Homo-oligomer: A and B are copies of this chain.
């Protein structure tokens, strides 16, 4: 990890870094409590499709984990996202396609992701790369004094498409918040189901009852497939990007329960 920039905002140190993974440079951000070094739980935050490492929701969660829990938090730009977009035109087209699908799907008629074969292959490729990059990040964290963890993962939608196979194959992750994903109607469901069945860590699964991109049945089937002994599904009304803000409190409580709160965190 090579740190390229540092800013501070009300008790939160934010450090931009570049992580070399094979031939690629993956840009990321590490947030931590100002003036406090030493081991602390760290949450990896995976953003959604068309978003990036500092999208408002990711930034909000990261600051919250630092301020409320005394944790560190890390985000990476997923493959082909954020600073890693090389083909602006293709990225724009993907964003427009997603927005169109979201506009089409409603009244219990989810539109699906609407991807052709080439796009499905690209997505599978992004998933595999994304998993390898999170793993490389965990390998790099000891040099930053954050090697002991414990580590949590938060990621919904594309953050689950990449995060579920990552968490299921990564013993260093202790607890995961996943969501906005399902087994049917989502491309690559076979691999996703296999990963779900391998999962053993506690999982909080967030699902939107009126998700315009997937069916209720697909979400329930994914929850059902999780192999974890402790798993909880939170279902709320509303569309894909309308997870209620109070679910941030629930995720915080979930991480506090499983990762603990560091001794230097004021009550």
Contact = CB atoms under 8 A, between A and B. Distances in A.
Contact of A244 (B216, B232, B236): B232
A156 to B, nearest CB: 16
A258 to B, nearest CB: 10
A155 to B, nearest CB: 20
26 contacts: A209-B224, A216-B220, A220-B220, A223-B235, A229-B237, A230-B237, A230-B244, A231-B236, A231-B237, A232-B234, A232-B235, A232-B236, A232-B244, A233-B233, A233-B234, A233-B235, A233-B236, A234-B234, A235-B235, A246-B253, A246-B257, A249-B253, A249-B257, A250-B250, A250-B253, A253-B253
Interface of A: 209, 216, 220, 223-224, 229-237, 244, 246, 249-250, 253, 257
For the complex, would chain A's binding face be called helix, strand, loop or mixed by DSSP majority?
mixed
Contacts of A224: 209
A223 B229 CA distance: 24
Contacts of A209: 224
Instruction: Report which residue of A231, A237, A244 has the largest number of chain B beta carbons within 10 angstroms of its beta carbon.
Output: A237
Nearest to A202: B246
